[in-house]
């Protein structure tokens, strides 16, 4: 005790005399530091932020009514008056594309949240309670054997076209993947010493799940949720594009592209503007997901 107290200042004194071998570590703080450490996440957040602003403030960004028909102004090429041109019904594509951001982001976020929550509950229960595991996972295997887009198509064929039903259909198609992931994490956590210690100490099962297992599933689940958001936006656009998604009157990117489908060889801009917005938004969410994955699990960062 006494020895170490005297030797510490000496070590510091020596350290001061040592030559500078390493350059001083520059700690970057604030927004700039964040962007420096996590460039992919920063780019993703920036792009997603822009899209959010576009979606929220769509009425104030020089848009007209996105559903207003104007047969006299059909298929106008992009110009100063119609920035992205007009479609076969004379509707302003710039307005429709901007309002379309609302549908895509709403569907993406809603599906990510609902699928994560439901998948989390299923995964926690079946991963921790072995009695249920076999049955639940067989059902999930079965569900996963139906290609997600086809499952969503089948559900949409039976319900009225609406944004809510699109969210419901895609959520159901995404749940198996989440519950599989959570179950896998729970299975490995169960064997960890701290969980065994909690069991030995007589902690009740619900408490172990909530206090010891649940917090440790959050990191992989958050990453998965961003990927689900991205894939839900793609699925929504595909469903709308083939006529099994949002009602045609709603300006969603898939619907705008579906409207331009018959004319795309002569008027490609109808298809391309929503396509660019869709791709950029999905890219933003994917970059955010990759950034989160690298930040939350540095071991994975090197691998993928």
Q: Which residues bind other proteins (CB under 8 A)?
A: 138-139, 141-143, 145-151, 153-160, 165, 168, 230, 234, 237-238, 241-244, 257, 261, 264-265, 268, 271-272, 275, 278-279, 282-283, 286-287, 290, 302-304
C-beta of 89 vs 272, nearer to other proteins: 272
Q: What angle do CA 97, 101, 107 make, to 5 degrees?
A: 135
C-beta of 221 vs 282, nearer to other proteins: 282
| Burial class (CB within 10 angstroms; exposed 0-12, middle 13-18, buried 19+) of 194 | exposed
C-beta of 156 vs 178, nearer to other proteins: 156
- Give the relative orientation of helices 214-241 and 253-260 as an angle to the nearest 10 degrees: 20
Residue with tokens 């959010």, as numbered in its chain = 52
Task: Say if CB 220 and CB 181 are below 8 A apart.
Answer: yes
Residue with tokens 């955010």, as numbered in its chain = 288
Q: What are phi and psi of 86, to 5 degrees?
A: -125, 160
CB of 46 to other proteins, least distance (A): 15
CB of 241 to other proteins, least distance (A): 6
C-beta of 259 vs 290, nearer to other proteins: 290
CB of 77 to other proteins, least distance (A): 15
C-beta of 124 vs 278, nearer to other proteins: 278
DSSP 118-170: HHHHHHHHHHH-HHHHHHHHHHHHHHHTS-HHHHHHHHHHHS---HHHHHHHH
CB of 154 to other proteins, least distance (A): 5
CB of 8 to other proteins, least distance (A): 40
Contacts of 77 (CB under 8 A, 6+ apart): 85, 267, 269
CB of 160 to other proteins, least distance (A): 6
C-beta of 49 vs 142, nearer to other proteins: 142
CB of 20 to other proteins, least distance (A): 28
DSSP 221-240: HHHHHHHHHHHHHHHHHHHH
C-beta of 153 vs 198, nearer to other proteins: 153
CB of 23 to other proteins, least distance (A): 22
CB of 245 to other proteins, least distance (A): 10
C-beta of 75 vs 238, nearer to other proteins: 238
Whole-number Å distance between alpha carbons of 114 and 105: 14
Half-sphere exposure of 230 (CA within 13 A, CB side): 19
C-beta of 46 vs 139, nearer to other proteins: 139
Task: Say if CB 295 and CB 58 are below 8 A apart.
Answer: no
Task: Say if CB 128 and CB 188 are below 8 A apart.
Answer: no
């Amino acid at each position: 005790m006494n020895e170490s107290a005297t030797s510490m200042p000496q070590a510091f004194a020596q350290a001061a005399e040592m030559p500078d071998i390493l350059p001083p570590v520059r700690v970057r703080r604030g927004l700039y530091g964040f962007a420096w450490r996590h460039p992919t996440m920063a780019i993703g957040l920036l792009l997603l932020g822009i899209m959010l602003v576009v979606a929220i403030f769509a009425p104030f960004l020089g848009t007209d009514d996105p559903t207003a028909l104007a047969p006299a102004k059909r298929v106008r090429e992009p110009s100063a008056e119609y920035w992205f041109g007009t479609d076969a019904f004379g509707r302003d594509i710039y307005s429709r594309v901007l309002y379309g951001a609302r549908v895509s982001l709403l569907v993406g976020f809603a599906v990510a949240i609902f699928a994560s929550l439901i998948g989390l509950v299923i995964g926690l229960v079946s991963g921790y309670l072995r009695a249920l595991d076999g049955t639940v996972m067989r059902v999930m295997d079965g569900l996963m054997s139906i290609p997600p887009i086809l499952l969503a198509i089948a559900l949409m064929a039976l319900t009225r076209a609406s944004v809510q039903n699109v969210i419901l259909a895609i959520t159901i198609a995404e749940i198996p993947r989440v519950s599989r992931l959570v179950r896998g994490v729970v299975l490995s956590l169960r064997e960890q010493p701290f969980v065994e210690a909690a069991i030995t100490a007589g902690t009740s099962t619900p408490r172990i799940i909530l206090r010891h297992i649940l917090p440790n599933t959050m990191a992989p689940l958050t990453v998965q949720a961003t990927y689900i958001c991205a894939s839900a936006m793609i699925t929504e656009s595909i469903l709308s594009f083939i006529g099994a998604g949002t009602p045609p009157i709603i300006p969603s990117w898939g619907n705008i592209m579906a409207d331009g489908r018959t004319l795309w060889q002569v008027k490609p801009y109808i298809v391309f503007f929503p396509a660019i917005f869709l791709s950029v938004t999905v890219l933003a969410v994917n970059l955010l997901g990759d950034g989160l994955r690298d930040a939350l699990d540095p071991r994975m960062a090197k691998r993928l």
